[in-house]
Structures are given as structure tokens and as C-alpha cells.
Amino acid sequence: MSIKKDLPMAWHFERISAREAYTFRWGRGSGMITVHRGDARGSHSDDNLVDCVQIGIDWIDDQDVRVQARKWIRANAGRGVR
């Protein structure tokens, strides 16, 4: 079994522009991703929380987090997110 599959939480950081960046945090078993403004990699707090996305599935590896992050970005980035 891969060590990645044992991680309880995964983060993904995306810089959209010089002024816009987001961190996506997905906790194993939570069924949701939290979206935070700025670089919050490694953080467990809800500082700068801008959205919670119900996923309903669990992540297998970091690629799953990247895929969901890019879906959110296509739908929300640059639009004055909540």
C-alpha cells in the first residue's frame, strides 16, 4: 500500500494570478473539500475559508485533490468568491 493512501489529509495550492491563490484541503473520510484564500498548505485551521465543497467520495491520492481543485477554479476563480 502506498504511503499517500494512509495520509489523513491532502492539500493542493493553486496560484491563479499575482493577487489570487487558493489552497484546497481534503480530509480523508470528510466527503468535502475546504477552499482557503492564499497558501494554507499544512494548515488544519479554517482561516481564510472561502468555500466548502461537498464531494461525497474519498480521495485516493493527490491527483484526486488536483482534479477537484481545478473543477472549482473553472467555476469560481476570478469571480469574487464568497
Are the CB atoms for 25 and 62 separated by under 8 Å? no
What is the pTM assigned to this prediction?
A: 0.84
pLDDT of residue 15: 95
One digit per residue, the tens of pLDDT, for the chain of length 82 reads 444 455 689 999 999 999 999 999 999 888 899 999 999 999 999 999 999 999 988 888 889 999 999 999 999 977 655 4
C-alpha cell of 72?
A: 472549482
pLDDT of residue 80: 57
The span from the CA of 51 to the CA of 44, in Å, is 15
pLDDT of residue 29: 87
Q: Which residues contact 59 (CB under 8 A, 6 or more apart)?
A: 10, 26, 28, 65, 68
